[in-house]
Amino acid sequence: MSTPEQLLASHKANVATFFDWGQKAFEGIEKVLELNLQVAKTTFEEASEHAKAVLAAKDAQELLALQTSLMQPSAEKAAAYSRHLYDIATAASAEVSKLAETQLAEAQKKFVSAIDDAVKNAPAGTENAVVLVKSAVAAANNAFDSVQKAAKQAADVAETNFQAITNTAVKASQATTTKARKVA
């Protein structure tokens, strides 16, 4: 049975964890906002430079060359932006996962401790029930570990696929730009 001090300590730990998760979420949001502000600023500056170049074009062929030269960097920048967003989301997810794993480990320790306390005070003849409960806890921990490993493997596969898709998109953009230049 929990004492008032144990309940208060548990409540304090839960509040601290809540604020830790909130802080990690806000850090991720802050990074996305910084990225978006930088992209907006850069895009505005580049659009201004491009508009000046378009207005200074002397003929249609020069105008077409300017438009073609704009296409490739845009695709590469879109891929880089997506990559930055993915990196931010992955980092935030890793931080939250780390906090969750820590909390879960602590909860498991407390649960095992509570079971051990209950075992010490269990009446004679309940040894089989105690073994059954301990076995169930061990099986649940093993199942959780297996799910956690599978989730990490799935995240690794998603990372690899994201990289491949990004590289393919950039290469396709470069090939299109090269063909457009040859036509011009």
Count of domains forming the chain:
1
Rounded CA separation 138/142 (Å):
6
Nearest to 72 by CA among 144, 169, 143, 148: 169
Q: What are phi and psi of 138, to 5 degrees?
A: -65, -40
> In Å, what is the CA distance from 115 to each residue of 8, 39, 108?
21, 55, 10
In tens, the pLDDT along 4-47 reads 787 788 788 888 888 888 898 899 899 999 999 999 999 899 88
pLDDT number for residue 38? 95
Q: Within 13 Å and on the Cβ side, how many CA atoms surround 99?
A: 18
Q: What is the mean pLDDT of the chain?
A: 81
The range of the structural domain enclosing residue 41 comes to: 4-183
State how far the Cα of 9 lies from the Cα of 106, in Å rounded to an integer: 13
Phi-psi region of 125 (alpha: psi -120 to 50; beta: other; left: phi over 0): left
